[in-house]
């Protein structure tokens, strides 16, 4: 059966190195039928073209800080039956698209969301969550690794994380895509609630996984400390006005302000925010609240398609699969050279670099397209592991590969 055409949309602004890394992860997808659409600032677009992607991607230039407009621009030039979204500071596991789009392609759902791993590449940043009219979310209990389809209801939606979500293109375009009133923050949550108002089915797909770095931007530092809370306040108020009962607005805003205040103080105590900036950060939240309450709200109009032809991306051959290599400090450069040779031939490659310690493990997708897991041979990779486990190199590698089962390599269909 022919795989449904998928359009992967990446929005980026002033982060060209991370954007190239994200695209490299997409080049390793096993999924056989997708195009990549990048909506980015002009300089980043030029760097992509210079890097050899000129005729391989659809590049739409947009240099204004409004992620909703940028995503809608991506929707307008998309040609796939399904649209998937990933952030520029994320890297997708090679099986990401295969898992994420399957429930939509089979007609079981109109939206889908996967799991997101955090900065250490192992712990989950986000898994399955609901979303409510006040913008708050609670975990959903999902067991196992199989997709779960949830029929939503007006007071309870399913959260799809902005860096790991997919939709039926016809559905999201007809409903107006992303509301431009949300310049940043809660933009996809608004879509989730609008879908919930229609009792739409959303799939939660545990094996559709991306690694998200929370990279530095104009809104946050490299340590994730906020530079401003304006959009948090502004978008929250717009969201509440659209979805939440009026009598709950003040209580919700006060609770969110207190949450942000505690967050800022935690960063201050950790030395990541100057104490003199605490007041101005909270003032920026209040300014956002005022503007959000005064903003004019309009119903998003359907997104108009540019009717461009589908530009199939030439990804690495699926049959080459995944290769794992093991390294120590003394032969690491040699192993990397071998990994790059395999990588250039089209293999997906993971290097396990062990030290004779109990150091915790970390995973990253390198700029050269290699997956690297580093840590102590006796250290833990899962937070439920013991702090020290006596083992041998082969046993440790086999154990780590079992943890990656279904992520770096395609498994036979049952």
- The pLDDT tens digits for 48-90 are 999 999 999 999 999 999 999 999 999 999 999 999 999 999 9
The fraction of the chain above a pLDDT of 70, given in percent, is 100
Mean pLDDT of the chain: 96
The pLDDT value recorded for residue 281 is 97
Domains, the chain, ordered by start: 6-212 (3.90.550.10), 230-294 (no CATH), 321-403 (no CATH)
Is the separation of the CB atoms in 210 and 92 below 8 Å? yes
Cβ(336)–Cβ(351) below 8 Å: yes
User: What's the DSSP call for residue 52?
Assistant: I
Position 224 confidence tier, pLDDT thresholds 50, 70, 90: confident
Region 93-105 average pLDDT: 98
Dihedral angle, C-alpha 95, 87, 348, 410, nearest 10 °: 0
Kind plus residue range of the DSSP H or E element containing 208? strand 201-212
Look up the pTM and report it: 0.95
Beta bridge partners of 201: 151
C-beta of residue 90 within 8 angstroms of C-beta of residue 101: no
Predicted local distance difference test score (pLDDT) of residue 135: 95
The stretch 170-181 carries a mean pLDDT of 98
pLDDT digits (tens, 9 = 90+) for 128-153: 999 999 999 999 999 999 999 999 98
Query: Out of 74-83, 166-175, 269-278, which region has the weakest mean confidence (pLDDT)?
Result: 269-278
pLDDT above 80 (res 412) = no
Q: How far apart are CA 352 and CA 337, in angstroms?
A: 14
**pLDDT surpassing 80 at residue 413:** no
Indicate whether 414 pLDDT > 80. no
pLDDT for residue 215 is more than 80: no
Give the span between the Cα atoms of 212 and 40, in whole angstroms.
19
| Range 219-228 average pLDDT | 86
Whether the predicted pLDDT of 112 surpasses 90: yes
């Amino acid at each position: 059966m022919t795989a449904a055409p998928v359009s992967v949309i990446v929005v980026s602004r002033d982060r060209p190195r991370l954007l190239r890394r994200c695209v490299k992860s997409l080049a390793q997808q096993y999924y056989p039928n997708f195009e990549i659409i990048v909506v980015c600032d002009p300089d980043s677009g030029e760097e992509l073209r210079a890097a050899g992607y000129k005729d391989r991607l659809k590049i739409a230039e947009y240099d204004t800080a409004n992620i909703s407009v940028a995503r809608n621009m991506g929707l307008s030039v998309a040609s796939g039956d399904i649209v998937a979204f990933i952030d520029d500071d994320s890297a997708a596991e090679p099986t990401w698209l295969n898992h994420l789009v399957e429930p939509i392609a089979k007609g079981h759902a109109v939206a889908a969301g996967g799991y997101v791993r955090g900065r250490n590449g192992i712990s989950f940043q986000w898994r399955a969550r609901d979303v409510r009219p006040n913008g708050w979310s609670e975990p959903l209990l999902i067991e196992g690794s199989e997709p779960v389809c949830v029929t939503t209801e007006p007071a309870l939606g399913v959260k799809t994380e902005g860096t790991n979500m997919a939709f039926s293109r016809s559905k999201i375009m007809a409903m107006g895509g992303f509301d431009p009133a949300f310049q940043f923050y809660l933009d996809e949550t608004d879509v989730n609630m609008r879908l919930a108002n229609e009792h739409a089915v959303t799939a939660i797909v545990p094996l559709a996984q991306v690694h998200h770095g929370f990279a530095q931007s104009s809104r946050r530092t490299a340590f994730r400390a906020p530079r401003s809370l304006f959009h948090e306040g502004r978008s929250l108020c717009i969201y509440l006005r659209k979805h939440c009962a009026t009598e709950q607005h003040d209580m919700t805003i006060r609770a969110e302000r207190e949450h942000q205040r505690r967050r800022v103080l935690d960063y201050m105590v950790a030395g990541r925010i100057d104490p003199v900036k605490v007041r101005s950060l909270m003032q920026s939240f209040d300014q956002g609240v005022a503007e959000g309450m005064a903003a004019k709200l309009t119903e998003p109009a359907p997104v108009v398609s540019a009717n461009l032809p589908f530009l199939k991306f030439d990804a690495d051959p699926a049959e080459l699969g995944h290769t794992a290599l093991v390294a120590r400090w003394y032969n690491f450069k040699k192993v990397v050279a071998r990994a790059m040779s395999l990588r250039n031939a089209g293999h997906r490659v993971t290097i396990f670099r062990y030290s004779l310690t109990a150091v915790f493990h970390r995973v990253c997708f390198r700029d050269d397209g290699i997956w690297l897991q580093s840590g102590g041979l006796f250290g833990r990779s899962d937070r439920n592991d013991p702090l020290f486990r006596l083992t041998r190199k082969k046993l440790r590698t086999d154990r780590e590969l079992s943890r990656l089962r279904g992520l770096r390599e395609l498994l036979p269909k049952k």
